[in-house]
Amino acid sequence: MMDHVIGGKFKLGRKIGGGSFGELYLGVNVQTGEEVAVKLEPVKTKHPQLHYESKLYMLLQGGTGIPHLKWFGVEGDYNAMAIDLLGPSLEDLFNYCNRKFSLKTVLMLADQLLNRVEYMHSRGFLHRDIKPDNFLMGLGRKANQVYVIDYGLAKKYRDLHTHKHIPYRENKNLTGTARYASVNTHLGVEQSRRDDLESLGYVLMYFLRGSLPWQGLRAGTKKQKYDKISEKKMLTPIEVLCKSHPLEFTSYFHYCRSLRFEDKPDYSYLKKLFRDLFIREGYQFDYVFDWTILKYPQIGSSSRTRPSSGKPVINPGQSGDRIERPQGDQRFGIDSQVLSRHLQEGMDLGMVCMVIIPGIGLRMMCHLLKKCKLILRGPVALLVMAVLLKDPSYQAAVQTPLVNRVKTALADWS
């Protein structure tokens, strides 16, 4: 595949993902050098979806958090689609953060996720496979923006002109992912807007709790497993699911389950639930997510300091200068070899990263950058000490050719 050119201009690179609905490759526009994601699906596949999915991308174009469709067509034995290259999924980031997100991170995500679902619904479509794997963070200046992907299971729930809703039906097969499926979906009821929202609620609780009560159930067949998940889900009261977490999450589920089949959800009410909680907790909407900063144990720090997850972090984009600095003049105890290894891991994963570490000097970071043999990819450095470069107190240290290249890249980028 490595030498194939798709659509006359997208050269295929390494494989970056795959699943039951095709494979995903890194692609490069041979005319502009722009990196894209190319999804391939064999023409002879039993249930082709890519053509349908490309139509959905076209219909949804222009919405915030909707990847831009670059090209779709048939190339040899494959249906092919090129879209924006995006960053890691929320499932990836959840793993990087030791499978727990803070309340602040969950609430910042909830606001964007509700907006994405509301936008799809406003265009007349249900997603029907709401799960962490289908929400990706952007790259570069869009690194704080959540994107929704995978529209292969999406379904029109109303006519775009008459707004006539699809009819209520029963005895439907489960569509989507059982872990996050609504109770009504398990019961075979045709999905509507309420079901996407209930699924989103399970995603939020998964992030807060670390897991859901119906995970890890064993069964002989897929159907038996689905039945076990369904039973456990229905027997778990909302109050038990949301125990030890803010009441707003309980209210969210009660609202979603109170909706009738054709009801239009009050998205504003749900967003306000979480926004009011966010304000009451005293958080700042600064886009500093749990994965934004590599956290190392602080020398002499309190027990509240989170140990490092040992995972690479993702570029915080425009909000990179808004960081949570340690109190006082305390410094991080950093093993340069350990840090160097983490930086190299980030590069090996092919991510566009930004590492901001309070308490480390610019010269030390330049040394680490050289040690890792990092390079600039396009206009954005894999690792850019943007915050330090903007600090006048470091100007005297900005002498090395590497840092000057980084500064030039930053200037081009912004």
For residues 368 and 400, the answer to whether their CB atoms sit within 8 Å is: no
Q: Where are the domains of the chain?
A: 5-84, 88-291, 376-413
Residues 6+ away with beta carbon under 8 Å from 136:
86, 87, 88, 89, 90, 146, 147, 149
- Quote the tokens at residue 45: 């596949």
Burial-class residue 268 by CB neighbours within 10 Å (0-12, 13-18, 19+). Answer: exposed
Please indicate if the annotation marks 271 as binding a ligand.
Answer: no
Does the model's pTM come out above 0.75?
Answer: no
Q: Is the pLDDT of residue 310 over 60?
A: no
Which carries the bigger pLDDT value, residue 395 or residue 196?
Answer: 196
Q: What residue ranges in 298-389 does DSSP mark as E strands? A: 376-377, 380-381
Query: Would the CA dihedral through 43, 45, 50, 55 be positive or negative?
Result: positive
| pLDDT mean across residues, the chain | 79
Read off the pLDDT band of 212 (50, 70, 90): very high
CA distance 69 to 67: 6
Q: With pLDDT > 90 as the criterion, what percentage of the chain qualifies?
A: 65
Q: For 135-177, how does the pLDDT look when each residue is reduced to its tens digit (9 = 90+)?
A: 999 998 999 999 999 999 999 999 989 999 999 999 999 999 9
| Active-site annotation holds for 348 | no
One-letter amino acid at 112 equals Q
The residue annotated as part of the active site, out of 92, 129, 150, 196, is 129
Burial-class residue 358 by CB neighbours within 10 Å (0-12, 13-18, 19+). Answer: middle
Read off the pLDDT band of 71 (50, 70, 90): very high
Rounded to an integer, what is the distance from CA 76 to the centroid of its chain? 32
Residues 6+ away with beta carbon under 8 Å from 355:
294, 313, 343, 346, 383, 385
Q: Is the pLDDT of residue 414 over 50?
A: no
Q: For 31-69, how does the pLDDT look when each residue is reduced to its tens digit (9 = 90+)?
A: 999 999 999 999 998 889 999 999 999 999 999 999 999
Beta bridge partners of 15: 25
Segments in 171-221 forming alpha helices (H)? 183-186, 193-209
Task: Tell me the CATH number for domain 5-84.
Answer: 3.30.200.20
Architecture of the domain spanning 88-291: Orthogonal Bundle (1.10)
Rounded to an integer, what is the distance from CA 212 to the centroid of its chain? 19
- Quote the tokens at residue 165: 């809703």
